[in-house]
Amino acid sequence: MSQPKPHCYAYPHPAVTTDIAVFTIREDALQLLLIRRGNPPYAGAWALPGGFLDIDEDLDTCAARELAEETGVRDIYLEQLYTFGAVGRDPRERVVSVAYFALAPAGRLAVQAGDDAAATGWFRLDALPELAFDHAEIIAAAHRRLVAKLDYSTIAFQFLPETFTLGELQRVYETLLDAELDKRNFRKWALALEQIEATGEVRRRGSHRPARLYRLTDRKQVAFLR
């Protein structure tokens, strides 16, 4: 803390960070990616990946960069969530954090601990550890947004790889809604969306009838329903 402080302003400026809540579905449960903090404050505690905004980078870029640096995760669905700026939320200095939430298929996540992070880990949303800062609040907001968006968008498809079966899609919805769904009604609904198409291929997995594979018609974009 004895370094020079050459960046000076006529009025005090808060620091700006991004924090990212990355969700995936593994082991039939909604899970969240956390890092174990290596440095104070809250050293040793679990926290959302994230970090300070560079002075010449956009907010979205910052979120993607911090996520890649700290966890190795890249090229996943990323959406700005809400900005948290309560006065005392960081004990070091005034920090305004632009929170993001991100979704990814479990398979595409090459997670590795990065620079600032002592370790990374996946946690079931119903069994989170103690969290640094106001990150529990951010996670709650991200989860609310995710569940709300299920209703009017195809966001849940972001949890699946490029091709998937209707059974896999149904299990995603069942996990997110924490409810069992009727198979016939679900398939009717999914096909009526006009967002997916059969690839023509099937997947053999286990000792039962092979399942048809589907893909999103419009590549990887999230569509709005209604």
In this structure, the chain runs to a length of 226
Residue 92 near which of DNA, a copy of itself, none (CB within 5-8 Å, type-dependent): none
Cβ-based neighbours of 122, under 8 Å, separated by 6 or more: 24, 26, 31, 32, 33, 34, 111
CB contact at 8 A, 166 and 211:
yes
Q: Please select the residue that binds DNA; options are 45, 167, 199, 222, rule is CB under 7 A.
A: 167
223 binds DNA (CB under 7 A): no
CA distances from 39 to 31, 112, 116, 127 (A): 24, 18, 8, 24
Site string for a copy of itself, 81-120 (x = CB under 8 A): -xx-xxx------x-x-x----------------------
Q: What DSSP designation does 44 have? A: T
189 binds DNA (CB under 7 A): yes
Using the rule CB under 7 A, give the single segment among 21-29, 94-102, 154-162, 204-212 that binds DNA: 204-212
Residue 210 near which of DNA, a copy of itself, none (CB within 5-8 Å, type-dependent): DNA
CA distances from 170 to 11, 139, 164, 205 (A): 53, 24, 10, 16
Using the rule CB under 8 A, give the single segment among 3-11, 36-44, 66-74, 196-204 that binds a copy of itself: 3-11
Q: Please select the residue that binds a copy of itself; options are 14, 41, 161, 210, rule is CB under 8 A.
A: 14
Query: Distance between CA atoms of 188 and 13, rounded to whole angstroms?
Result: 54
Residue nearer to a copy of itself on the CB measure, 3 or 207: 3
Q: Please select the residue that binds DNA; options are 188, 197, 220, 221, rule is CB under 7 A.
A: 188
Residue nearer to DNA on the CB measure, 32 or 156: 156
80 binds a copy of itself (CB under 8 A): yes
In the complex, the smallest distance separating the C-beta of residue 135 from a copy of itself, rounded to whole angstroms, is: 17
Query: Distance between CA atoms of 182 and 162, rounded to whole angstroms?
Result: 24
| Residue 83 parent element (H or E) | strand 77-84
Mapped onto helix, strand or coil, the DSSP state of residue 148 is helix
Instruction: Retrieve residue 57's tokens.
Output: 């980078």
Contact residues toward a copy of itself (CB under 8 A) are: 3-16, 52-53, 55-59, 80, 82-83, 85-87, 94, 96, 98, 151, 226
